[in-house]
A and B are shown apart, each in its own frame.
Chain A
């Protein structure tokens, strides 16, 4: 992809043409993907906001949600964002041990988050909230479950990168964009969780 650089982006002087590298094009692709994912989550959040009051015979958010579990899960995800940042810094300085030291905890924290979500869902099902029982149940499980699937995909992505560098026994400068892509995705998942935590859990508890 060749494009004019009007503002000296990517280090090219003003008015010259800059050939974007595959890494830059991949990063642009990741940003476009995340932007489209925003629209997908927006639809699910709007559906939830419209349907969360329709609980029928099932339990509602106010009596159901246990904020202690959700806050713990939020802290776990926040910690994983920090370790991901450290892992990315290590990858950018080709520090093989640093990548392992920070990305393994990131994957473990991601798994812990998914585990807490499974525990939470099981708790709600035992309390009588299922996908079929009410519109609230359907929209809640779809929205939060969809986010959980995103986290699970992120864990699988990080694990595959860890296996990749473990087999190579080193990290090259050429690999840095792979870590940048997974970190952008991971931070995005964290941002979406901030919205879900506020709109679904905190506001649901307020009523």
Chain B
């Protein structure tokens, strides 16, 4: 009975056949796309059918949009698994964007 040899990966380009992990990554893309489509349909349906009172509609739409943004940044843009430095930089940009939005909005309203 021979002993177990450590697996050596030969140099050169990676194989073009998808492994189980890659197939699972493909499934993740499809699942996220379906979830995003469902959230879009719900948001559109709420507005189109006037399903809830106008006053309650805006916070619901904002929550649905936030859910879509979180899904896209975590799973498509891979902030969930990527270097935390990127998340900090992007989070900083988004925070700056929100601050700019609020200040610009207040400034223009004050005119």
Contact = CB atoms under 8 A, between A and B. Distances in A.
Contacts of B89: 28, 31-32, 35
Interface residues on A, range: 35 or more
B33 A81 contact: yes
Interface string A129-164: 000000000000000000000000000000000000
Contacts of A67: 44, 47-48
Given A75-B40, A206-B58, A93 B16 contact: yes
Interface string A69-97: 00100110011011001100100111111
A194 B100 contact: no
Contacts of A31: 86, 89-90
Interface in B14-44: 14-18, 22, 25-26, 29-30, 32-33, 36-37, 40, 43-44
A190 B72 contact: yes
Contact of B101 (A7, A46, A93): A46
B44 A89 contact: no
A93 B14 contact: yes
A86 B94 CA distance: 27
A9 B83 contact: yes
Given A28-B86, A195-B69, A202-B43, A93 B97 contact: no
B69 to A, nearest CB: 5
B97 to A, nearest CB: 3
A127 interface: no
Interface of B: 13-18, 22, 25-26, 29-30, 32-33, 36-37, 40, 43-44, 47-48, 54, 57-58, 61-62, 64-65, 68-69, 72-73, 76-77, 83-86, 89-90, 92-94, 96-98, 100-105, 108-109
9 contacts: A35-B89, A43-B104, A46-B103, A49-B101, A81-B76, A172-B13, A190-B76, A206-B47, A207-B54
